[in-house]
């Protein structure tokens, strides 16, 4: 269901479906309640989809714990169009280091 259909209860009029407009409906209490129910359905479906995607992502995540004296690489956040470390574009480094952890 599209957001337009959830709010207004019918498909959006496009040039492809121009003649299928049907009769004009005025907003009343019944139409308002139906729109509220549709929005609640859409929100519930979004919540379910988000929790499913979170469970998929959490399977690959792990807690990182570092000890003093270990070496780590730092990720360099990409800035498009800037010249970093005298290299520009695809060959620019994504990680820098290694750096020793002091504490």
53 and 25 together in one domain: yes
What is the per-residue pLDDT for 12? 76
Question: Sign of the C-alpha dihedral, residues 43, 44, 45, 51?
Answer: positive
For 28, the domain range is 3-58
What is the chain's pLDDT, residue by residue, as a tens digit (103 residues)?
A: 777 887 787 777 765 555 555 555 556 777 778 878 888 898 999 999 999 999 999 998 988 899 999 999 988 776 665 565 666 677 777 788 899 999 8
Q: Is residue 76 part of a domain?
A: yes
44 and 76 together in one domain: no
What is the per-residue pLDDT for 70? 94
Distances (CA, A) of 11 to 7, 19, 78, 81, 99: 10, 12, 41, 43, 58
In the DSSP assignment, the letter for residue 78 is P
85 and 47 together in one domain: no
């Amino acid at each position: 269901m599209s957001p337009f259909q959830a709010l207004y209860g019918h498909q959006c009029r496009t040039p492809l479906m121009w003649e299928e407009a049907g009769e004009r409906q005025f907003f009343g209490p019944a139409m308002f309640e139906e729109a509220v129910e549709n929005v609640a359905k859409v929100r519930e479906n979004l919540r379910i989809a988000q929790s499913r995607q979170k469970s998929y992502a959490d399977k690959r995540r792990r807690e990182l714990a570092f000890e003093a004296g270990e070496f780590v690489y730092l990720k360099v956040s990409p800035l498009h169009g800037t010249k970093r470390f005298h290299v520009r574009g695809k060959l620019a480094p994504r990680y820098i280091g290694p750096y020793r952890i002091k504490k």
